[in-house]
Amino acid sequence: MKRVLLSHAGGRLGLGFTRALKAAPEPLHLIGLDAGEFSLQRAETDEKNLTPRANEEDYIPVLKSIIAETRPDFLWVQHEAEIDVVSQNAHSLGIPTFLPPPETIALCQDKLASYQRLYQAKVPVPDSILLHNEADLHQAFRELGREIWLRAISGTGGRGSLPVADYDFAKRWVDFHQGWGRFMAARRLTQKMVTWESIWREGKLIFAQGRMRLYWEFGNLTLSGVTGVGGAHRWVADPVVDDIAMRAIKAINPNPHGVFSVDMTYDWQDLPNVTEINVGRFMSGGVVHFFEYGLNVPYLTMQVGLGTEQDMGLPMLNPLAQNVVLIHGVDILPVVVDVRELEGCTEALEKRRATLRAPTIG
């Protein structure tokens, strides 16, 4: 029985991946990791381990300790911070991770740098300006239109995003977020959005599927209308979307390896513009879970990462039915946990940390 180590196991992405792997055609032993003592309890894996956060200095030593103890065959990380750190240390983990190289991840996690790379490659992108100071903000309103889109150059879930048509309000927004030098302004596009999720192995496309995002869940609770939680999706097969997404990925890395998810928003001429590329993970827990009803993409991802995949018997490009709409929310059910189990997870992590800190004799 293969053993799979899953990070962020109690979050919506981890739950979706877990549920899909549980529906795989072979039995798998799933080992969950999570940095939140409460969210870990929501994990549906066979084992649960509390870890430090990815930005803590002992994250990698603890991860190595868990790998040595649980002996998994494959590691799947899906939180942006974990993807960054694990990719930089993948060579020392002794386990397949199926992550793109660190340079590719760093480029995609920097929205300004990836925008510049795509712009130079003539991939459709919304005109954008980095906001160093108020002069740049004035320039943005002059050149990008009466209404612009503000966004942080790093982060997920629409962090710092805001459509704004008033200069004073825009300035206050950037001031509030201490965003000068860390925010960019982009030309405002339509509300029509599409995502193209794909799996590559050493430059070869293994699988890709387009999906149209119909609305953001809880969008009415944010100023931007963006939450990072898609409320409804419909599979699409559009040659224009396919072409732009593949050009974008090849502009980032001519020999892509791993999972690449391209977010696009349509401009006023109905042309998809690439707004960001997320690497190393899929974009939605609900979508990942739903894949099992047409094609179990998480299972396929594991197989590709291990080099054991077989012919799917389906088209490589956009194989899922286009007459289906997925409607979902946060994908997490409440759980009831004995307080001693919570304390036990924390104590286990502290014991592991103490063992790693102990001096080596001899």
Q: Residue 51: is its pLDDT beyond 70?
A: yes
pLDDT for position 85: 96
User: Distance (Å, rounded) from C-alpha 189 to C-alpha 228?
Assistant: 17
pLDDT for position 309: 84
Domain 2-97+334-357: state its class: alpha beta
pLDDT for position 157: 58
CATH code, residues 129-185: 3.30.1490
Domain-wise residue ranges, the chain: 2-97+334-357, 129-185, 190-327
For the residues 172-193, what does the mean pLDDT come to?
Answer: 93
Q: What pLDDT band is residue 184 in, cutting at 50, 70 and 90? A: very high
pLDDT for position 220: 64
Please check whether residue 114 is in contact with residue 276, taking contact to mean a CB–CB distance below 8 angstroms.
yes
Please state, for a pLDDT cut of 70, what percent of the chain lies above it. Answer: 91
For the residues 281-302, what does the mean pLDDT come to?
Answer: 76
- Token digits for 192? 């029509």
- Token digits for 210? 């387009």
Q: Residue 361: is its pLDDT beyond 70?
A: no
Domain 190-327: state its class: alpha beta
User: Distance (Å, rounded) from C-alpha 9 to C-alpha 2?
Assistant: 18
For the residues 67-77, what does the mean pLDDT come to?
Answer: 97
CA 210 remoteness from chain centre:
16
Q: Residue 326: is its pLDDT beyond 60?
A: yes
pTM over 0.85: yes
**Residues, the chain, total?**
362
Please state, for a pLDDT cut of 90, what percent of the chain lies above it. Answer: 71
For the residues 38-49, what does the mean pLDDT come to?
Answer: 96
For residue 187, give the 3-state DSSP assignment: strand
pLDDT for position 185: 95
Q: What pLDDT band is residue 285 in, cutting at 50, 70 and 90? A: low
87: left (phi over 0), alpha (psi -120 to 50) or beta: alpha
Please check whether residue 203 is in contact with residue 226, taking contact to mean a CB–CB distance below 8 angstroms.
no
Q: Residue 48: is its pLDDT beyond 60?
A: yes
* Structural element, H or E, at residue 347: helix 339-357
Cβ neighbours of residue 360 under 8 Å, at least 6 residues apart? Answer: none
pLDDT for position 227: 62
β-pair partners for 233 = 213, 326
Q: What pLDDT band is residue 327 in, cutting at 50, 70 and 90? A: confident
Q: Residue 286: is its pLDDT beyond 60?
A: no
Q: Is 102 exposed, middle or buried (0-12, 13-18, 19+ CB in 10 A)?
A: middle
For the residues 6-13, what does the mean pLDDT come to?
Answer: 91
Tell me the average pLDDT of the chain.
90
| 316 vs 141, more confident | 141
Q: Which amino acid is at 345?
A: C
Closest CA to 36 of 48, 50, 47, 46: 50
Rg (CA), the chain: 21
For the residues 83-92, what does the mean pLDDT come to?
Answer: 95
Q: Residue 106: is its pLDDT beyond 70?
A: yes
User: Distance (Å, rounded) from C-alpha 62 to C-alpha 255?
Assistant: 32
pLDDT for position 271: 98
DSSP-derived letter for residue 37 is T
pLDDT for position 249: 98
Q: Residue 362: is its pLDDT beyond 60?
A: no
Q: For 288, phi and psi rounded to 5 degrees?
A: -60, -45
